[in-house]
Amino acid sequence: MKKTLCTLLVLSLTGCSREFIEKIYDVDYEPTNRFAKHLAQLPGQFKKDTAALNQLINAFSGKVKNKWGKREFKIAGKRNYVKYIDNYLSRADVNFESGKIVVETVATTEPKEHLRQAIITTLLTPDDPAQVDLFSSKKIKLDGQPFLYKQVVDQDHKAIQWSWRAKRYADYLIANHLKVKTVDFKKSYYVDIPMVDNQVEIRSYQYANIVRKASQRYGIAEDLIYAIIKTESSFNPYAVSWANAYGLMQIVPKTAGKDVFKLVKKRSGQPSPQYLYNPTNNIDTGTAYFYLLKNRYLKQVQNPTSLQYSMISAYNGGTGGVLNTFSRNRTRAMRDINQLKPNQVYWALTKKHPNQESRRYLEKVTKYKKEFNQH
């Protein structure tokens, strides 16, 4: 586990060229939590270890491309789980947005058996990110409740929790739904596994008590917390991004994490990836950051609805991004926000915010908030 955390920590503290990542994979490179500069973001912090990260990524991608070819390079992100096993010969790609799982292998000897083991491993992977190294082909210890439990059902429409049922379903898939395609002059044997229609809701229910406690602790609405989690990670407990963010609410250790530790928790340092991969810690930290936005950085916003729009936008694009939407002068920007009606503030933040991603972000979170309130 130390090796896993070391690998993730290297990723969290380093930067990577946009061109390199976008060239090899369609990654949402834009920082999920681009916090304001006053949140301990140091000049050049994402550049100083670029060489180290490039070495790590090159080593990992080199092993993947050696087996799969350049066009088939896939890697874990915020809303998808990708795990290689079997010396990079087999992999699983779980897309939490589309609700589709692809398990495949390019093994040349006994490919069906390699695929069978990959399916079983995918179905029984535990709900504990600390046990899974996403950037290697390290074997996973299959114990504890699977993180896909109830999100996938077998041919009898039963949830898969135990080894015997996973093996039985793997045999069924290979016998009835096996597909073959060409991958870099090799054959890829694979199966598509559909997730249940309400897979997002099932994952969200797992965190109901955690969200409720965090809401009560910090005075932040539950529907807002849910909407942020769905936007950031689609309730993917293994979420990791190139913006150095981890877990359900995509917390950046050196910015928001460090700020929460210092100003809310009254403790030194910053949260580790292991700390942030714990759902309770992650949701608590993300909600605590909203508390800081509400009661510290944006406390001068008078209208509650305008304040919430500003908080949501700031979670993605920083407090500075919110204020710069209205004026580069902080005092004037705050005055303008308070003179506008909430719908005008929303319009400005979704149409005039300097960052296009932040414009879409507020729209998404607002939409998801409404959806949660309709259930």
pLDDT digits (tens, 9 = 90+) for 327-371: 999 999 999 999 999 999 999 999 999 999 999 999 999 999 999
Of 63, 117, 122, 69, nearest in space to 95 by CA: 122
Q: Name the pLDDT band for 8 (thresholds 50, 70, 90).
A: very low
Of 207, 249, 211, 215, nearest in space to 231 by CA: 249
Distance CA(172)–CA(348), nearest Å, equals 53
Within a domain: 12:
no
Average pLDDT across the chain, whole number: 86
In this prediction, residue 32 carries a pLDDT of: 33
DSSP 204-219: HHTTHHHHHHHHHHHT
Within a domain: 35:
no
Within a domain: 73:
yes
Which of 173, 194, 215 is the C-terminal boundary of a domain?
Answer: 194
Catalytically annotated residues = 232
Q: Name the pLDDT band for 56 (thresholds 50, 70, 90).
A: low
Decide if pLDDT at 170 tops 70.
Answer: yes
Within a domain: 34:
no
In this prediction, residue 165 carries a pLDDT of: 98
Decide if pLDDT at 192 tops 80.
Answer: yes
Same domain assignment for residues 287 and 342: yes
Strand order in the sheet with 90-95: 80-85, 90-95, 100-105, 186-194, 179-183
Decide if pLDDT at 315 tops 50.
Answer: yes
Percent of the chain whose predicted confidence (pLDDT) is above 70? 85
93 pairs with which residues across the strands?
A: 82, 102
Q: Name the pLDDT band for 45 (thresholds 50, 70, 90).
A: very low
Please name the residue that has the structure tokens 């949260």: 271
Same domain assignment for residues 118 and 262: no
In this prediction, residue 17 carries a pLDDT of: 35
Distance CA(13)–CA(84), nearest Å, equals 23
Of 310, 99, 101, 60, nearest in space to 190 by CA: 101
**Stretch 305-324: mean pLDDT, rounded?**
97
Distance CA(132)–CA(344), nearest Å, equals 45
CA angle 67, 242, 5 (to 5 degrees): 75
Residue 230 belongs to what domain range? Answer: 201-374
In this prediction, residue 57 carries a pLDDT of: 63
Indicate the length of the chain as a whole number.
Answer: 375
pLDDT in tens, 233-284: 999 988 988 777 889 999 999 899 999 999 999 999 999 888 998 999 999 9
pLDDT in tens, 136-169: 899 999 999 999 999 999 999 999 999 999 999 9
Domain count, the chain: 2
